[in-house]
């Protein structure tokens, strides 16, 4: 199902009940694999499921955490840490920082909708 939100098309991806607190879930939106995270404060974040450092679609299996007030996800492969709000790489483990694409999440009732990504996906596969 699609909606028009703020003059932007949004696509329903799941219900809020489909997510577990601080456990990632992967979703497919067109050709893009997306990792969804429900945080303890009730906020939901959506970033690319593609780990640009390992080349695998594994971000949804990462470790949720924080850096101060910043919600983060650490890659399960090489432990790079990303800001869930912006996709910015906060800890690149000595490699060149690469961001994750971020999708705005809108909640309508119990349904979660994604809009076009704020940053284009940098996936190769």
Q: Tell which wins on pLDDT, 54 or 122.
A: 54
Ramachandran angles phi, psi of 71, nearest 5°: -70, 135
Query: What confidence tier does 124 reach under pLDDT thresholds 50, 70, 90?
Result: very low
- Residue range 20-43: mean pLDDT, rounded: 95
Query: Which domains, from first to last, does the chain contain?
Result: 21-103 (2.102.10.10)
């Amino acid at each position: 199902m699609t909606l028009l939100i703020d003059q932007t098309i949004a696509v329903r991806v799941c219900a809020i009940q489909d997510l577990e607190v601080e456990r990632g879930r992967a979703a497919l939106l067109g050709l893009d694999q997306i990792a969804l995270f429900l945080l303890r404060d009730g906020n939901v974040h959506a970033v690319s499921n593609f780990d640009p450092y390992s080349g695998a679609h594994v971000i949804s299996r990462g470790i949720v955490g924080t850096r101060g007030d910043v919600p983060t996800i650490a890659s399960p492969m090489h432990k790079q840490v990303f800001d869930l709000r912006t996709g910015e790489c906060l800890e690149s483990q000595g490699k060149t920082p690469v961001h994750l694409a971020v999708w705005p999440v809108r909640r309508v009732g119990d349904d979660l909708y994604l809009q076009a990504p704020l940053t284009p996906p940098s996936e190769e596969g």
